Each structure stands twice: as C-alpha cells, then as structure tokens.
Chains A and B, each alone.
Chain A
C-alpha cells in the first residue's frame, strides 16, 4: 500500500517531470512530504502566481509540459492569472492544487475555494480527484490533454484525504490515454490541401501569416521550407516571432497593431493569405472588415473552432501545422510567379524600416538593439507586457523558435520575470533575459528572492521610464495627454536587488548601455539593469484601435 501523495509523485515521474514550481501550505503537506526526498526538483517561488508563470515559461522554452503546485484556497486562487495566461497562448501546463478534505467540500472550510469551478473558463480541462485510486489515470490524462491537440493548461485539484489515502501498489497503469470526447485531428484533409495548392499555384501576391501554432507544433523548419519553395513572403504574429529567422529575406516582420509597415501593407494588398497557426486576433487584424480585403484565405489550425471564428475562410484545413505543411510540401507541384510581389515587399522593407530617433539620448529601442547585437539570437528573451514587450518584439532579431517568451493573448504584466525563471530550468544552457518596464517588474518583483535563493542567472533589463508607458502612450495620443494615474515615482531597483542579495546596475547614459549589458551577461548569477530611458518615447508604428492595419501612425506615410 502507498499513499495518494506517493502515487501522485510516481505518476508525475512517469510523465517525465523533472521540475515543479510551487509554494507549500496546509493541505499539500502530504505532497510536500513526498517531494522532500523525491528526485523531482522543486523551486520555491515567493508567490503562487509566479509558480504558474514559471511553469508556463518552462513549457514555452522546452516544448514540454510545465508543472506548478499550490495549496488550496488563496494558493490556488493565486495561480489563476498564470493559468489564464497559459490558456490564452495555448501553453501546456499542469497545475496541481491541494483541496480541503472531501468531507468538508462545499462547507466553506478554512482555505477552501472551488478552484475547478473558478478555473473552468481558463483551463482546457480540470479535475477534482475524489478517490486516490483515480490519481494515476487523472495525472496521465491531464498531461495528455495539456500537450496534445491545441495545448493548454489542465488543473488537478487534490483533497487532503486523497493525498493521505491509500492506494494498492502495483496496479497497472494504462499505456495510452483514450478519451472518447477528445480526438484531435492531426492530418489535414487531402482535398482541402489540394485546393490550397491550387490557390497557391495561381496566386500573384501570396502572403504567409504565421503564428504561435507554428512554434507549438515545432514546424519552423517546414514553414521555412514552404515559404522558400513557394517563394512567399511571410509575416508573423507576436507569438510567431522566431518561427522564421528575423533576418530572412522573405520575412516582413510582425504584423498588426504595432506591426511593420511592410507587413501591414502586404496584408492589405495580398491576393492570397495563408494563415498558419493563428487566430485572427483583434490586435493583429485591426478593423476586421478591412483585413486582407482582396485575399482568398487558407487557414491551417489544429483547433476547428478557430477557423471561421473571426474571418471567413475559403480553404479551411484542420490539422497539426507541421503535418499539414509537410503534406503541402509533398504535394506541391507548381508555384505561382511571385517575383514581382517579392520585389515589391522588399522595396517596402527598404523604404519603411523601423526607426526611432537615434540621437545621444538613452532610448529604449537602442537598449533592445544592443541586446540583440550581443546575444545574436542565441539567448532566450522574455518580456513583460506593454511598451517593453513591443520594443523587444520589433527591435530584437529572433532567429529560432522558443527563444521569445511573452504573454500575448492575456497580456499579463508581471509575467516575464517568473516565466524567465521557468525558461532557465528548461534551458539552463542559454542566457535568459527578461526585458521589463518599471511597472511590470514591480508586479512580481518578490521573485528576486527566488533567483537569489537558487542563484538563477536570469538577467532583468528594466526599461525604466517612470510611467506605465503603454497606457501613457494611449493617453498622450487619444486622451489629450491627460496622464491619469500612469506616472510612477522613481524606484531604486539596484537597492532592491541588493537587498535580496542580487547584483544590479543603474544606467543613465546611452554610452553606458553596451558595457552594462556585457557586465550583466558575463555575471554568473542573476543581475538587474535599471536603464533610465527617455520617458515619453512611444511605440511606433501604431494602428489606432478600430482602424485598418494599413492606417498606421508615427510612420513615414506612403
């Protein structure tokens, strides 16, 4: 006989879990007791939200399922933002929560919260385990659901008496999971693939619009082969950055609200839009009626519900992006003549490059450019949310998938730092840098305690403008410069870092940027860089809310 807690740990080990991010509490004591001498490494965070983000960052950096653990009630509730973040970006995470004993369920017991009810809208699926004998099956299903099909977070809620309950040893564990209500489609329909190929062969101005689905499906090589074989320019979403090398001649960069001019013009003028692992999010499309108005649309996605949700589609292909791209490549016989079109998009790229005022002031774009130049695409870049995120997306040259980790769908400030911790444990071999704003970093700054305790070599680059910069930008542009509650007083981030035992450096001059970044990257442990940047710098290009994406402001007009 063994306990439910031991059964749980063994089930996690069968799933190949090597790291758990968590925070202990009353009803998870039996689980923590089992963890004490288990081979699974547990990273103690300073707030449960960070555990969920770290598990998410681990998953994004590695492609494996990230795992977090929290106690019942407040612990579980604190995971919710992290779970919702993972859900919006389709990230495989298994969240384990303790629960009050089954006999007290529904009784408003101490630290009870209905976490399966609370997380129903933000999980792919969730479980309340009422019998220790179910733990093996539930854990197996949870990991299977999290990582297959369109990935997503799964929560498993475990009452204390289930952890302490007894399970017979040596019970066989099923080899495969079979759920009659869950049968994802991986192979694209051949007839639709051939219809797509007909459109591709006949298109004069085709454009690939690629997103996070390419990264999730590990389909970067196939995508690159496809755009090169078919000679089609490509633009990626925020989530798709790195799926195609940023400096590839066919890559037009990011599209959408803060997209490049060449990408947004290409969308507006293309006659065939090949949407790959994307969901036509409003931050991408702007005014949906004018998004790719002249184009036939091919949409490849593993989730049938995304096809036709926001934009009518001519050729729907439900399937795994990698498998569908392979089929397209296999069956492609003829490509369209795209030479003129490629030349045109290249001319836009040359004519409308990203630009900012490169004077002697310390501007945030310059910091990101220098970071890009130093890491040469070899590190993992994590961001917070807001201006810091957009400057990084625009000015850092991503060369490989899974080297860019950001909260796209939910837009969670405070995500980056804990996600960077998770990314480090997934890829301890590469430098991990969190690009932050002074607002975002203060949302989970307590994690300095975690990086100090475990000597986690995450570097934090704060683009400090003493504002909630993106909101301030909107106030400047659309609210008559009425900066309502967006100004933040100066904070001595170096002192805060030092108080936790972490090194830090403040940089006020442009001339000091490169050296400071080099110092941080050369340091073995964690490092905080506080860059005092131009306070009212804006992110451009920008498409105002509700406008068509070719109607950008802050750019040289056509």
Chain B
C-alpha cells in the first residue's frame, strides 16, 4: 500500500467533481486528499487526488476515472519526477511570551509565515510537501492547535513535460 498522486484534467463543468468523488466512494477507493481548481486551459480544471492502494487498485482507480466522460486525462505522477506542494493554515495558541517566541522560532525554521496575530493566537501559513506540514503540525501541537486547514496536495511534472503532452 502506498500513496499515489493522480493529476486529473477534467472539463470545467457543473457536477464534474461530484462525478469523480462519487465514483471513488461507490467503488470503495479512499481519497487521502483532493484539490481542484482552474488550470492553464480556460475550459478545463485540474484535480489532484492522492489515493492509497496497491498497484492493482491504483490501476483500477485510473481506468475508472478515465471512463468518466468529463475526464480528459489521468496521470499518475508518483512514478515520475514531480513537484508536490500543500498549503496549510494553522491557528495555534500563543498566550504566554515564551511560547509565542518558541512558535515564531519554529515558524522561522519551517519558513512559515505569520499571517494573523491576535492577543491569544497566531495563524501560520506554511507550504511544502506533506511530510513537512506533518512535521510542523507535530511540533506545534503541544502549544495547542485551535484550528487547522490544509489544501490537499497539488503537483506538476518537473521540466518541460506536461501531463497533456506525455503519454
């Protein structure tokens, strides 16, 4: 069992996301994360899906996704050179002076930005791969994480290759 990052180009139409998500749930495929948004083509969106499963399961996931009429292309980026990023916003308790200073230090090491400062909390913004965000979360947990939100992973192939151009 391992995580696979799938890049899925879809028609930018109402209901596409529910077609993809519905197919995953009815066939019992587990989505670890899902991120969707516009892409370089005006009428398409790119969905980045992280799924967990052995090679056979991932092959089925890709084939079944490909069968959806509104899905234009499905690529598994896991086996190829790609950049993967996630963004998280973390609201962490920071009441006492020392705690606040430590949190800021940790943020600095992770190159996280402080995007909101309150009298009792700080909101940090961090980008990176999943492991980096997991690590930061773990370090901040003892201070008290009030709220946390992650975007889900997005990814692109490295170099000149694109998902559309490659087979």
Contacts and interface: CB of A to CB of B under 8 A. Distances in A.
Interface string B6-20: 000011001100110
Interface string A178-190: 0111100000000
A309 B29 CA distance: 14
A449 B132 CA distance: 69
A125 interface: yes
Given A116-B15, A305-B64, A145 B69 contact: yes
Contact of A303 (B10, B22, B67, B68): B67
B72 interface: yes
Nearest to A303: B67
A121 B15 contact: no
Contacts of B22: 120-121
A459 interface: no
Interface string A115-127: 0110011001100
Contacts of A304: 63, 66
A181 B72 contact: yes
A428 interface: no
A293 interface: no
B59 interface: yes
Interface residues of B, number: 21
B60 A309 contact: yes
A398 to B, nearest CB: 30
B59 A182 contact: no
Given A124-B69, A180-B72, A305-B64, 20 more contacts: A116-B15, A120-B18, A120-B22, A125-B69, A125-B70, A128-B14, A128-B15, A145-B69, A181-B68, A181-B69, A181-B70, A181-B71, A181-B72, A182-B69, A305-B60, A305-B66, A305-B67, A308-B56, A308-B59, A308-B60
Interface string A130-165: 000000000000000100000000000000000000
B72 to A, nearest CB: 5
A307 to B, nearest CB: 8
A466 to B, nearest CB: 37
Most chain A CB neighbours (cut-off 10 Å) among B22, B26, B67: B67
Tell me if B's interface is mostly helix, strand, loop or mixed.
Answer: helix
Interface of A: 116-117, 120-121, 124-125, 128, 145, 179-182, 303-305, 308-309
Interface string B63-94: 11011111110000000000000000000000
B26 A121 contact: yes
Nearest to A145: B69
A59 to B, nearest CB: 19
Contact of B18 (A117, A125, A179, A305): A117
Contacts of A124: 69
A248 to B, nearest CB: 34
27 contacts: A116-B15, A120-B15, A120-B18, A120-B19, A121-B22, A121-B26, A124-B69, A125-B68, A125-B69, A125-B70, A128-B14, A128-B15, A179-B69, A180-B72, A181-B11, A181-B69, A181-B70, A181-B71, A181-B72, A182-B69, A304-B66, A305-B64, A305-B67, A308-B56, A308-B59, A308-B60, A309-B60
A125 B67 CA distance: 10
B62 to A, nearest CB: 9
A304 B64 CA distance: 9
A21 to B, nearest CB: 25
Contacts of B23: 121
A428 B10 CA distance: 44
Most chain B CB neighbours (cut-off 10 Å) among A116, A181, A303, A305: A181
Interface in B10-42: 10-11, 14-15, 18-19, 22-23, 26
A305 B60 CA distance: 6
A525 to B, nearest CB: 43
Query: What are the 9 tightest A-B residue pairs by CB atom distance, in nearest-first order?
Result: A305-B63, A125-B69, A181-B72, A182-B69, A121-B26, A181-B71, A304-B63, A305-B64, A120-B22
Most chain A CB neighbours (cut-off 10 Å) among B15, B56, B71: B15
A305 to B, nearest CB: 4
Nearest to A184: B67
Interface in B33-58: 56
A122 to B, nearest CB: 10
Contacts of B60: 305, 308-309
Nearest to A182: B69
A85 B26 CA distance: 17
Contacts of A121: 22-23, 26
